[in-house]
Amino acid sequence: MEQVAVKFADGSARRYPRGTTLAALAAETGRRDILAARVDGAPRDLAAPLERDAAVEWLTFGDPAGREIYWHSTAHLLAQAVRELFPQAKLAIGPPIEDGFYYDFDIGRPFTPEDLEAIEARMRELAKRDEPIERIAVRRNDAVRAFQSGGETYKAELLEGISDDPVSFYRQDGFQDMCRGPHLPSTGWIKAVKLLSTSGAYWRGDEHREMLQRIYGISFPTQEALDAYLARLEEAKRRDHRKLGRELQLFASVEEVGQGLPLWLPRGATVRRVLERYIIDLEEGLGYHHVHTPDLANTQLYKISGHWDHYRENMYPPMKVDNEELVLRPMNCPHHIMIYKNRQHSYRDLPVRIAELGNMYRYERSGVLSGLARVRGMTLNDAHIFCRPDQLTDEFMSVVRLIQRVYEDLGFRDYWYRVSLRDPADRAKFVHNDAMWDLAEHKLREAMTALGLRFVEARGEASFYGPKLDVQVPNVMGKDETISTVQIDFYLPERFGLEYIGEDSQPHRPVMIHRGVISTLERMMAFLIELYAGAFPLWLAPEQVRVLPIADRHLAYARRVQETLRGAGIRAGVDAGSERTGHKIREAQLMKVPYMLVVGNREEEQETVAVRSRGAGDEGAAPLAAFTDRLVREIASRR
Ligand code: TSB
Ligand code: ZN
């Protein structure tokens, strides 16, 4: 019998009779978690037979591609349940998404919460029956006829967009759906399901077409995994910076101003100012020079820099005034380069470190905008370091140490390093110069090795001008985003003809490091709100202390306490309202104020305050002077 050679991902290899199914190979492993396979890179059903030599890689729920299949099959199960409960429902599309899946239906009215419960219960029943999921090939004409007689107008329209003949369908338990697959071997693989929400969705995302009803859901191989996910989801909702930003009066998003252009309210602006002062002080101590440069520049500047060729789709369109054509800057580098060029530099002056809390504007697609985490108008804790090639590694290492120091102060514990490299095939996104990229990537790896840091490499994530180290910080849902970045750039110095005069009195070309430590203040704020669930540590809290007079006659003393605290640099408020003390305490707690000082007759006579802290509750009375000293120390410690 003819044989095919199979290579497995673990390096082993074996021969099998042609036509052996992947399921038979999977069975040999004794494993029970294999739900599908990748054959020469393409995902396949386990029922598929091996027709030729191939590389086989098993897929489980642990793999992103495996989860996709798992959730896709659950979407089919959802459609089957809806079809059974609402026989008149028309099916549209049902893909897996990043977290779970959805399916769009036309049932002529929105689904109710009771509907969802019933559908979910039916899905569980169907899964219990553990029906095999089979791929079938249907002649195109038969599919067209079936859709017509079944009134499946959406499916019919989808079919028009496909040229396959035959087309593939997946069938389980009498229910079938047109689909490329692959899918799970049987419905019994789906152990725990939750339908999460519903929403209206236009057919094909087109507001002129039919309004469909979308059901979102998620599923897992165990009830424990589902429970853990739901708990995390609850926690994420509780910490959501958009919700807390509103409740704690930190920032606002206003339609009249524009999408992705948040307004910082006084309390949020206070936290921001603390961060700004903190980072500027640190940087000045490390030899950075802070500058101010405008948010606009002549388009020409970005033609020289290469932004125009490689970054234009993220830029706002140019505007004409007089004889100039201006754009909102998407990055601050060209301005800082012009500052470097403003005077001559000798090898002795280098490194020159130019820093700015620089405003930048990027056209981010509206679908990716999210509160403060991803915006269109932002301020970056930016700096550009101009150094000699022999200084590059040291400079890079000091930036990484600065990042580590800042994370320590901010309380970031969970983070990892991503070395972001170019995709050499993508000539549109990355400037083309192999030697330059090789050198920069080599330098980057060398510095990471010198630092002794472990990192993950990511192809295609570099900047257009060079590779970078991105520091990835996970949010509550475990998704990570880039906070800090350190980028090595041999390109812009070339484009702008940058020079320094060397020891040999000859002009030489400096290297640039672009770096952001606390990211944009917007993204940092989003992270801090979620990390602390709005309860900022004392040094960052917008209102560090609130003084609560018991009655109106204690207001004067409350004001004196406030003055004393303010005099020591502490941000203190007074609740001058006429409500009872219990109510005032609850209000201060809702706003997550770290310390409440209740003052009445006794406190006034003895020049004391009754201390309540956010964490420990009632802490008893303390002399005002002693409490003030304690707080000043606690703030300085950034605990
Ligand atoms: C570091 N030229 C460099 C700079 O010198 C630069 O702009 N790098 S960047 O493009 O990677 O952006 C720097 C940081 O800004 C990112 O690491 C990220 O933390 C933050 N950032 C980028 N886009 C957004 C956005 N749309 N909203 C909020 N923060 C953003
Ligand atoms: Zn830059």
Each residue's pLDDT tens digit, 239-286: 999 999 999 999 999 999 999 999 999 999 999 999 999 999 999 999
High-pLDDT (> 90) share of the chain, %: 91
Question: Which atom of ligand 1 is nearest the CA belonging to 515?
Answer: 1
Question: What residue's CA is closest to ligand 1, atom 7?
Answer: 331
The pLDDT value recorded for residue 226 is 97
pLDDT tens column, 306-356: 999 999 999 999 999 999 999 999 999 999 999 999 999 999 999 999 999
**Can you tell me the distance from the alpha carbon of 461 to that of 630, in angstroms, rounded to the nearest whole number?**
47
CA 306 to ligand 2 centroid distance, Å: 12
Q: Any residues with CB less than 8 A from the CB of 81 and at least 6 apart, and which?
A: 119, 120, 122, 123, 126
Mean pLDDT (the chain) is 95
Q: In what order do the strands lie in the sheet with 511-520?
A: 289-290, 352-361, 377-387, 511-520, 480-489, 468-474, 416-421, 456-459
CA distance 594 to 614: 5
Nearest CA to ligand 1 atom 6: 331
Locate the ligand 1 atom nearest the alpha carbon of residue 380 and give its number.
Answer: 15
Question: Can you give the three-state secondary structure of 309-334, one letter per residue?
Answer: HHCHHHCCCCEEECCEEEEECCCCHH
293 and 348 assigned to the same domain: yes
Distance of CA 182 to the CA centre of its chain: 29
- The last residue of a domain, from among 237, 262, 283: 237
Closest listed ligand to the CA of 310: 1
Mean pLDDT of 146-174: 90
- What's 605's domain CATH number? 3.40.50.800
Using CA positions, which residue lies closest to atom 23 of ligand 1?
Answer: 374
Based on the domain organization, do 288 and 139 belong to the same domain?
A: no
Q: CATH no. for residue 263?
A: 3.30.930.10
Residue 243 lies in a domain: no
| Per-residue pLDDT at 278 | 98
Atom of ligand 1 nearest to the CA of 485: 17
User: Average pLDDT, stretch 399-406?
Assistant: 97
Say if residue 55 is in the same domain as residue 137: no
Q: How many CA atoms lie within 13 A of 315 on its CB side?
A: 24
What range does the domain containing 28 cover?
3-60
Whether residues 53 and 70 share a domain: the answer is: no
Chain centre to alpha carbon of residue 271 = 21
Report the half-sphere exposure of 215 (CA within 13 A, side-chain side).
30
Report which bound ligand comes closest to the CA of 311: 1
Segment 279-305, tens digit of pLDDT: 999 999 999 999 999 999 999 999 999
The pLDDT score that the predictor gives to residue 472 is: 97
Contact 213, 246 (CB under 8 A): no
The number of beta carbons lying within 10 Å of the beta carbon of residue 24 is 14
Whether 98 is in a domain gets the answer yes
Amino acid identity, position 438: D
What does pTM read for this prediction? 0.86
Show Cβ contacts of residue 387 under 8 Å, excluding neighbours closer than 6 positions.
350, 351, 352, 395, 510, 511, 512, 513
User: At a CB cut-off of 8 Å and minimum separation 6, what does 32 contact?
Assistant: none
Is residue 538 assigned to a domain? Answer: no
Q: How far is the CA of 292 from the centre of ligand 2 (A)?
A: 15
Percent of the chain with pLDDT over 70: 100
Please give the sequence-ordered ranges of beta strands (E in DSSP) within 402-560, or none if there are none.
416-421, 456-459, 468-474, 480-489, 500-501, 507-508, 511-520, 545-549
CA of 154 to the centre of ligand 2 (A): 48
Which of 531, 558, 576 lies at the terminal end of a domain, its last residue? Answer: 531
State the virtual CA torsion across 8, 10, 15, 18 in degrees, nearest 10.
-20
Q: How far is the CA of 364 from the centre of ligand 1 (A)?
A: 12
Ligand 1 closest atom vs CA 331: 7
- The whole-angstrom distance between residue 178's C-alpha and the CA centroid of its chain comes to 34
Q: From CA 233, how far away is CA 505, in angstroms rounded? A: 63
Q: Measured in angstroms, how far is the CA atom of residue 514 from the centroid of ligand 2? A: 5
Residues 78 and 37 in one domain: no
Same domain (yes/no): 279, 338: yes
pLDDT band, residue 206 (cuts 50/70/90): confident
- Minimum-distance ligand to the CA of 360? 1
Using the predicted structure, report yes or no on whether residue 1 has a pLDDT greater than 80: no
The reported pLDDT for the residue numbered 598 is: 97
Domain membership flag for residue 536 = no
Q: Is 104 inside any structural domain?
A: yes
Residue 477 reports pLDDT greater than 90: no
CB atoms within 10 A of CB 63: 17
C-alpha 297 – ligand 2 centre gap (Å): 15
d(CA 264, CA 553): 35
Torsions phi, psi for 539 (to 5 deg) = -65, -25
Q: What is the mean pLDDT of residues 409-431?
A: 92
C-beta separation of 467 from 511 below 8 A: no
Indicate if 276 and 342 belong to the same structural domain: yes
372 and 336 part of one domain = yes
Q: Is the pLDDT of residue 630 over 80?
A: yes
Residue 400 one-letter amino acid: V
Residues 5-22: pLDDT tens digits?
A: 999 999 999 999 999 999
> Which residue reads 């978690």 in tokens?
33
Residue-level pLDDT at 613: 96
Residue 622 has pLDDT above 90, yes or no: yes
Query: Could you tell me if 91 and 154 are in contact, meaning their C-beta atoms sit under 8 angstroms apart?
Result: yes
Looking at residue 20, which CATH number applies to its domain?
3.10.20.30
CA of 422 to the centre of ligand 1 (A): 17
Spatial CA neighbour of 469 closest among 485, 458, 456: 485
Alpha-carbon span 633 to 629, nearest angstrom: 6
Domain count for the chain: 4
Residue 597 and residue 613: Cα distance in Å, rounded? 9
What is residue 475's predicted lDDT score, i.e. its pLDDT?
85
Residue 272 placed within a domain? yes
pLDDT interval class at 163 (50, 70, 90): confident
Q: Which residues share a beta bridge with 212?
A: 201
Pocket test for ligand 1, best of 310, 313, 471, 519 (most atoms within 8 A of CB): 519
Identify the pLDDT of residue 435.
87
Ligand nearest to the CA of 371: 1
Task: Give the three-state DSSP class for 144.
Answer: helix
Residues 325 and 451 in one domain: yes
- pLDDT (tens digit per residue) in 47-78: 999 999 999 999 999 999 999 999 999 999 99
Phi then psi for residue 295, to 5 deg, are -75, -15
Output the residue whose Cα is nearest ligand 1's atom 27: 374
Confidence of residue 615 (pLDDT cuts 50, 70, 90): confident
Does residue 81 sit in the same domain as residue 217?
yes
Which residue CA neighbors atom 21 of ligand 1 most closely? 520
Kindly tell me the sign of the dihedral angle through the C-alpha atoms of 185, 187, 191, 196. Answer: positive
| Average pLDDT estimate for 354-369 | 95
Q: Are 373 and 481 in contact (CB under 8 A)?
A: yes
For residue 523, is it within any domain? yes
Ligand-binding site membership of 333 (annotated): yes
To test the pocket of ligand 1, the residue of 333, 370, 464, 485 to mutate (highest count of ligand atoms within 8 Å of its CB) is 485
Supply the residue whose CA is at minimum distance from atom 1 of ligand 1.
515
Q: Is residue 71 part of a domain?
A: yes
149 pLDDT tier (thresholds 50, 70, 90): confident
d(CA 639, CA 632): 12
- Ligand 1 pocket test target in 339, 520, 521 with most atoms within 8 Å of CB: 520
Which tokens hold the place of 236?
């994420």
Residue 224 CB neighbours (<10 A): 11
Q: Which stretches within 343-490 are classed as H helix?
A: 392-410, 434-451
Residue to substitute in 272, 380, 472, 480 for testing ligand 1 pocket (most ligand atoms within 8 angstroms of CB): 380
CA 330 to ligand 1: nearest atom = 7
For residues 570 and 548, give the distance between their C-alpha atoms in angstroms, rounded to a whole number: 16
Query: Does one domain contain both 158 and 286?
Result: no
β-sheet bridge partners, residue 178: 169
- 53 and 87 share a domain? no
Q: Cis omega (within 30 of 0) on the bond before 96?
A: no
The enclosing domain of 144 has a CATH number of 3.30.980.10
Tell me the two tokens of residue 612: 């309540």
Ligand nearest to the CA of 486: 1
384 is in an annotated binding site: yes
Ligand 2 (ion): residues with CB under 5 Å are 333, 514
**φ, ψ at 178 (rounded to 5°):** -70, 130
- How far is the CA of 175 from the CAs of 171, 388, 427, in angstroms? 6, 68, 46
What distance in Å separates the CA atoms of residue 110 and residue 420, rounded to the nearest whole number?
Answer: 45
Write the pLDDT tens digit of every residue in 541-575: 999 999 999 999 999 999 999 999 999 999 999 99
Tell the residue nearest (CA) to atom 11 of ligand 1: 485
User: What lines the ligand 1 site, CB under 6 Å?
Assistant: 331, 333, 362, 364, 374-375, 378, 380, 382, 384, 482-483, 485, 514-516, 519-520, 522-523
Domain end, chosen from 45, 60, 75, is at 60
User: Residue 440 contacts by C-beta under 8 Å, 6 or more apart in sequence?
Assistant: 466, 467, 488, 489, 490
